[in-house]
Amino acid sequence: MSAQTDRFAHDRLPPRGQWPQLRYDLPELKLPDRVNLVEALLDQASAKGWADRPLLRSARITLSYQDVRDRVDRIARVLVEDLGLVPGNRVLLRGGNSIGLALAWLAVVKAGLVAVATMPLLRARELGDIIDKAQPTVTLCDIKLLDELEKAREGRPVLHTVVPFNTLDEPGSMAVRSAQKDGDFPACPTAADDIALMAFTSGTTGKPKAAVHTHRDVLAACEAWPRHVLRATPEDIVVGSPPLAFTFGLGGLLVFPMWAGASVYFHEAPYTPEALVRTIIDVGATICYTAPTFYRQMAPFARELGVGRLRTCVSAGEGLPDATRQLWKQATGIEMCDGIGATEMFHIFISSAGHEVRPGAIGKVVPGYQAKVVDDEGRELPRGTVGKLAVIGPTGCRYLDEPRQANYVKDGWNYPGDAFMQDADGYFFYQARADDMIITAGYNVGGPEVEDALLRHPAVAECGVIGKPDEERGMIVKAFCVLKPGHEAGEAMVRTLQEHVKNSIAPYKYPREIEFVTSLPRTETGKLQRFKLRQANPG
């Protein structure tokens, strides 16, 4: 039976007929019907012998598992005793990656509330959309991010309480309030299927949607990719760039390390490629999470400075070009662990560890999940054929109050919107987002394949490839390129890059148009927003 007396989120889930089929085929996925994920990951750390081990680290402080539990309990008491929140209430979280934000997230979920974390760079209009959708009454906010929040609150009285969480001298701050509380907060006895968080999609294709995940979802995710592919240990120190408001970051930089008994180092801004490499060396980091673009930018510094104790590099968030994988391996000797996941699925469901990597492939389906490549009617295609990816497992898509649910879940299977090919050995090869496939003169061309070819040219720093409508060919391949310093844009460079692509992959895939730009549109998590490039080139 649910412990969440506020049924707002439960009542706005999709109709049961549009839910994904959830499968718990492995023994470790069979979780109890009543479980609180923070109690399971944090409160039970002592019984595993981890109480005195470090969990959250920064340049100023290191907190053990027991320290974190005590602080989380004090914050939870403020939420319940001072602010009067009841299980199921939504709490908006605003902050960059920090110990303060991690503590706030854990306290919210332990108290049976629903965490609604937001990207730090969101503006008032975007925050307003999230407030309208989630209807939070309280926000815990980094004091540096209050301006946009206050603008978003105008005309939205539902969000009536703002508590700064990272300042020690504000009388109403969470730090001051929680210091006056006792610890030993008993975890809310949530049902496994009570809602723990709302995660807003990154908006690569337009207006973000709110994906809902339960306590069971998060714990089941811990028993899939982290157990079978990542295989972290209590000795690991984790760093990375994805925001905690992004499920890639929430899993990699908080939940999964806790499951393994490891620790996380949150480094302060500025977050540059050089700064991340230096942090890896200085703190002895062993696992790093970031997006392909960032690894590409880190490679020169890694080659120059080394990477210390680093052994595992996880890439996700967007397609990993093989050119970037090889560049990183040449710089560090480390074979990257690629993965594809989705906010709707919580985390990675196709991946392979470094020693099982196959060139050009993301990997195999993660134990606990099933995946197939299908046609438009959902029929599985022969191996070696490009089609749509369909996935099923212990997590799945449930949007909050969203008509687009029926586009994502069909006959119980999740359709992340990606075009893939699976080979005879079960490896999955990413082709493109389904809406990024370019059909030109009858040929199917995956934009990421052309991007990978362009990135192999020494003049290209970044690129994005789309299909541009064309009267004669239906579409043509068009590339947007950011050149490295010292290289000049112009017709000569266009011809050079076109010939380079023709000599790298099938000649019909070469970009018939190349436009040189100073930057590419990306989400805060680093994903390329190809839809914005398409909007600027309607034909």
Please report the DSSP string for 402-442 in residue order. Answer: -TTHHHHEETTEE--SEEEEE-TTS-EEEEEEGGGEEEETT
155: Cβ–Cβ under 8 A, 6 or more apart, which residues?
Answer: none
Per-residue model confidence (pLDDT) at position 62 = 96
User: What's the rounded mean pLDDT across residues 400-420?
Assistant: 93
252 — phi, psi (to 5°)?
-65, -35
Percent of the chain at pLDDT above 70? 96
Residue of 364, 394, 346 whose CA lies nearest to 28: 394
Indicate the pTM of the whole model. 0.85
DSSP letter at 24 equals -
Which positions ≥6 away from 159 have C-beta within 8 Å?
A: 92, 131, 136, 137, 138, 139, 152, 153
- Stretch 302-322: mean pLDDT, rounded? 90
Residue 10 has pLDDT above 90, yes or no: yes
| pLDDT tens-digit map of 35-58 | 999 999 999 999 999 999 999 999
Dihedral, CA of residue 30, residue 35, residue 40 and residue 44, to nearest 10: -110
| 292-305 and 322-332 helices, crossing angle to 10° | 20
Q: Which residues of 143-171 are buried (b: 16+ CB within 10 A; e: fewer)?
A: eebeebbeebbeeeeebeebbbbbeeeee
- Tell how strand 312-315 and strand 62-64 pair up: unpaired
Can you list the domains of the chain with their CATH numbers?
Answer: 229-434 (3.40.50.12780), 441-535 (3.30.300.30)
Q: Over 80: is that where the pLDDT of 166 sits?
A: no
To the nearest 10°, the Cα dihedral for 432, 433, 434, 435? -110
Q: What is the largest CA-CA distance in the chain?
A: 72
Task: Write phi, then psi, for 461 (nearest 5 degrees).
Answer: -90, -45
